[in-house]
Copies of this chain bind each other. A is one copy, B any other.
């Protein structure tokens, strides 16, 4: 059996446009018959945090961090021209006008197309999150550390750090 080409993405950023880029590329790769996985770390964990979750975390620090940094795909912002939300809102409108899926829809689509969504256990702690599947959306099927990411990357045709 021929081994499939693989795409591995490390997603550190919490910017809306970078989240979009990562999801678009993973979905495109899957549609081309490649294996694809996205490994969310640091601010990237915001993309896969539950949208409805109340700020949690044990200890004052973690709770404070969760209040400042609510996370969830619906709260992602553009890195530029956010302008108190106006720029981000315009971008979402333009995406809709272009019949482009939203970030939420991309996550569902990615999951359904077999893209593996992985939460980085090594950085959950410093982001105020428990390193377990319950901290994340249901589409996230794996939680794993940096060594896992590196072995996947070493086995990939294309690795991107976004």
Contacts and interface: CB of A to CB of B under 8 A. Distances in A.
Interface string A105-131: 000000000000000001101101000
Tier of interface size on chain A? 35 or more
Copies assembled: 3
DSSP class of A's interface residues: helix, strand, loop or mixed? helix
A12 B157 CA distance: 20
Interface string A19-43: 0110011001101101000000111
Nearest to A8: B158
Given A32-B147, A97-B59, A160-B161, A43 B17 contact: yes
Contacts of A17: 12, 42-43
A17 to B, nearest CB: 5
A7 interface: yes
Nearest to A31: B147
B158 A160 contact: no
Contacts of A28: 145-147, 150
